Structure 1
């Protein structure tokens, strides 16, 4: 019998499969889309994520960055936090997913075209997509169909405006070796260096408006970009997704499917990579229920800092003070950056 059946061939699912194969578990991935898989993503790997990928033997390509810079929308005040433990990496989502898929294939992980829809489980195993396994890992994304089918999705508080992410690439030489985060009254723009002649610009917003309209709220940034359109815009959201649990019998959740606060602090990929290793460790030890506590401990800093910053962002009196406060407290800002890094 298959040990781990993984629903989803994105970074979280493939990282779980690689961990499983390295631990001697027979692992199969079910994924309906061909490699490489693209999605709206800031495409910045924090230093912790870079280290975890190297530990998995995944070759990395892209552009190193050495910290985070916050700027107000008018380009006046700014704050910088440099990493203390090595650089992060700006890498195309498609390149990352392809490298993970290649590593998984070298380890003997089988990828089956298909989609996990119905899930049946008992005390002995799980059946999904016509396959039987000891455990099913749901790595099927922000709006996880498996999470919804099992009734484990929670509705967000109605008072909180839904937030969305939009991303576009530009053929521009990076002007900084930092990820820049521009703040306006209602949205943020992230600039990630991806290569010698390419950057990614991601906008996080609660307003429904085209990418160019959102970008116009950041004059110092938009003035640096070419007038001709970059790549096609990709979008994702609503970003906040709450899950009741990470373990439901023999079904375990990883990546965005396990629950998501916001992309504000850029730690989603690093958390997914770390959680994948903990999930496999718990399964291999015969203690899958221990994964819930492990996930909560791993994600505590991310959940606390992201929720706090998001709360401040949504307070009219505080939103405009985030960058000035970070500039006045550089040690605090750098400490927060490195806690997430």
Structure 2
């Protein structure tokens, strides 16, 4: 029998599959789309994610970055924080997925082209679309079909405006070894170095305006990008996804399927990679229910800091003061960045 059946062949699902294979499990990954899948993503791996990949035996090429820089839309005020331990890595999502898939295949993980939705389970096994396993891992994304089928979604605790992400690549040489976060009145733009002649720009906002209209809110950034060739825009959202529990019998949730606050702090991939290891550890020890507590422990700094920044973003008095305050309190800004690094 299959030990771990993983729904979703993105980074979270593939990391879970690799951890499972390293633990001696028979693992099958079900992914219905041709891979690698290009999706809206900030494409910046924080140092913790870089270390997690190394622990999985995954090598991927990208552009190193050494910290985070917050700046206002005009480029007049800024705050910088360098990582104390290690470096980040700007990596195309497609390259990351390909590297993870290659490592999983090397370890004997099997892949099937199938979308898992309907789930049946008892005390010994779980079945999804004709595949039976000891455990099913839902790593099927922000709008997880498995999570929806099991009714594990929850209503948001607060009536916040839905936020969305838009991403585009620009053929321009990176001008910094930092990930830049540009703040405007209603949105943020994240600039990640990806290669010698490529940067990724991701905009997060509650405003449903086209990408170019969003970019116009960041004049200093727009000036750098105005003559560069650009790729089509990709989008994702609503970003916030509340989940009642990450463990439902023999089904466990990981990655974006496990719940998502916002992409504001760039911690999605780090949390996905580390939570995948905790999930497999809990299953291997015969205590899968402990995964819920482990996930909450791992995600607590991310949830707290991201929640605080979101509250500031939504407050018309605080939002324009985030960058000036970070510039006036550099030590606090450094501690916040390195808390999540």
Q: Give the TM-score taking structure 1 as reference length.
A: 0.99
What runs of 5+ residues in structure 1 fail to find an aligned partner?
Answer: none
Whole-angstrom distance in 1 between the partners of 2:226 and 2:220: 13
Greater mean alpha carbon deviation, residues 158-167 or residues 317-326: 158-167
Whole-angstrom distance in 1 between the partners of 2:211 and 2:156: 25
Whole-angstrom distance in 1 between the partners of 2:236 and 2:35: 19
Quote the residue 2:165 is aligned against: 165
Quote the residue 1:246 is aligned against: 246
SS of the residue corresponding to residue 252 of structure 1 reads strand
Whole-angstrom distance in 2 between the partners of 1:34 and 1:85: 36
Cα distance, 1:155 vs structure 2: 2.2
Cα distance, 1:158 vs structure 2: 6.2
Quote the residue 2:334 is aligned against: 334
SS of the residue corresponding to residue 323 of structure 2 reads helix
SS of the residue corresponding to residue 305 of structure 2 reads helix
Quote the residue 1:214 is aligned against: 214
For residues 117-143 of structure 1, the C-alpha deviation after alignment (integer angstroms, 9 at most, x for no partner) is 210000011001211000000000001
After the TM superposition, which segments of 4 or more aligned residues of structure 1 sit over 4 Å from their partners?
A: none
What runs of 5+ residues in structure 2 fail to find an aligned partner?
Answer: none
Quote the residue 2:292 is aligned against: 292
SS of the residue corresponding to residue 225 of structure 2 reads coil
1:1-341 equivalences in 2 (<5 Å): 1-157=1-157, 159-227=159-227, 229-341=229-341
Q: Give the TM-score taking structure 2 as reference length.
A: 0.99
Greater mean alpha carbon deviation, residues 30-39 or residues 61-70: 30-39
For residues 61-117 of structure 1, the C-alpha deviation after alignment (integer angstroms, 9 at most, x for no partner) is 100000000001111110001000011000000000000000000000001001002
Cα distance, 1:311 vs structure 2: 0.6
Whole-angstrom distance in 2 between the partners of 1:96 and 1:166: 19
Contact 2:170–2:228 under 8 Å retained in 1: no
SS of the residue corresponding to residue 321 of structure 1 reads helix
Cα distance, 1:227 vs structure 2: 3.4
Contact 2:172–2:228 under 8 Å retained in 1: no
Change (3 A) 1:139 1:204: same
For residues 149-203 of structure 1, the C-alpha deviation after alignment (integer angstroms, 9 at most, x for no partner) is 1111112256310000000000000000000000001000000000000000000
Contact 2:170–2:199 under 8 Å retained in 1: yes
Greater mean alpha carbon deviation, residues 29-38 or residues 105-114: 29-38
Contact 2:142–2:241 under 8 Å retained in 1: yes
Aligned residues: 341
